């Protein structure tokens, strides 16, 4: 799904200063609509695709906001929902930022679940500087149980973005008892190392606050479990990952 015109899109919200949406201090744009339905989602209100004029925002409106923040930020990040569901709009935002004399120095990043065709990245690559990709699980069945979708496009996106030189980071969300099995984490490390042994990884422990109720309740990994997962990934043979644990 894309916005009706490339100079308008469905925006759920913006954050003027974010330090968790890519490198440095960033202006973050959250698009409405996602192709996943993750049990761990902290922003489930951004999942439904917008219709009509609700959430409709123009590039000009965004540029006004970005210009105000520009002296204090190093870049912008488009997140979601799922940013790539409105790829033409994202392309238009990045193109406008890069063409603006006041904003051209800002880096343009995408925060994505990675579930989009190769053609989406081929569209965005010329105007983007980096991507953060979530990998909910290497195992396709567990991935489907967590997101309601397969993971083949996610894995293909990670490979492609690395090949294109614009994969900034892969984010691994740990859900205790679901995707933190040591053998699975070892396989995940091996798969990631095959793509890039120096990959930047962010290991994120699930936090129940803000997520929808689930039966049975979803379990947050303890500090020890998160540490153990990061240690396992760091021990991947042949890998020298840059791991950040949060
Ligand atoms: S990909 Fe992100 S926004 Fe979409 S459902 Fe999953 S956690 Fe929520």
Residue 209 CB neighbours (<10 A) = 6
Question: What does the pLDDT average to over 37-48?
Answer: 96
Q: Name the band, by pLDDT with cuts 50, 70 and 90, for residue 3.
A: very low
Which ligand 1 atom is nearest residue 34's CA?
4
Distance CA 148, CA 47 (A): 13
* Residue 51, pLDDT score: 85
Q: Is the peptide bond before 42 cis (omega within 30 degrees of 0)?
A: no
pLDDT at residue 5, as a whole number: 57
Q: Which atom of ligand 1 is nearest to the CA of 40?
A: 7
* Distance from residue 141's CA to the centre of ligand 1 (Å): 17
| pLDDT > 80? residue 69 | yes
Question: Within 13 Å of residue 192, how many CA atoms lie on the same side as its CB?
Answer: 31
In short, whether 173's Cβ falls inside 6 Å of ligand 1 is no
Structural domains for the chain: 8-245 (3.20.20.70)
Ligand 1 atom index nearest CA of 37 = 5
Whether pLDDT at 169 is above 50: yes
Q: What percent of the chain has pLDDT over 90?
A: 96
pLDDT in tens, 173-219: 999 999 999 999 999 999 999 999 999 999 999 999 999 999 999 99
Evaluate whether 30 touches 46 at the Cβ level (below 8 Å). yes
Tokens 């990061």 sit on residue: 230
> 58: Cβ–Cβ under 8 A, 6 or more apart, which residues?
7, 8
pTM: 0.96
**Distance (Å) of CA 49 to CA 4, 13, 34, 138, 222:** 13, 14, 7, 27, 34
**CB 37 less than 6 A from any atom of ligand 1:** yes
Beta carbons within 8 Å of 189's beta carbon, 6+ residues apart:
232, 233, 235, 236, 239, 241
Q: How far apart are CA 19 and CA 122, in angstroms?
A: 27
Choosing from 38, 173, 206 the residue with most ligand 1 atoms within 8 A of its CB, the one to mutate for a pocket test is 38
3-state SS, residue 119: helix
């Amino acid at each position: 799904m894309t916005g009706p015109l490339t100079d308008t899109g469905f925006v759920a919200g913006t954050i003027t200063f974010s330090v968790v949406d890519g490198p440095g201090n960033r202006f973050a744009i959250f698009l409405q609509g996602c192709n996943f339905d993750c049990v761990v989602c902290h922003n489930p209100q951004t999942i439904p695709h917008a219709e009509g004029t609700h959430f409709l925002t123009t590039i000009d409106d965004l540029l006004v906001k970005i210009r105000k923040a520009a002296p204090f930020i190093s870049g912008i990040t488009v997140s979601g929902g799922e940013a790539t569901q409105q790829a033409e709009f994202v392309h238009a935002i990045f193109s406008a930022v890069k063409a603006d004399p006041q904003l051209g120095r800002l880096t343009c990043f995408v925060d994505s679940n990675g579930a989009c065709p190769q053609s989406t990245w081929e569209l965005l690559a010329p105007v983007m500087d980096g991507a953060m990709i979530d990998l909910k699980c290497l195992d396709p069945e567990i991935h489907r149980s967590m997101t309601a979708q397969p993971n083949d496009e996610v894995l293909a996106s990670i490979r492609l973005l690395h090949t294109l030189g614009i994969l900034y980071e892969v984010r691994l969300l740990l859900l205790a008892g679901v995707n933190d099995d040591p053998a699975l984490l070892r396989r995940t490390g091996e798969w990631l190392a095959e793509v890039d042994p120096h990959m930047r990884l962010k290991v994120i422990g699930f936090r129940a606050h803000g997520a929808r109720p689930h039966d049975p309740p979803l379990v947050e990994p303890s500090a020890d479990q998160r540490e153990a997962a990061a240690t396992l990934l760091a021990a991947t043979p042949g890998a020298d990952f840059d791991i950040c644990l949060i």
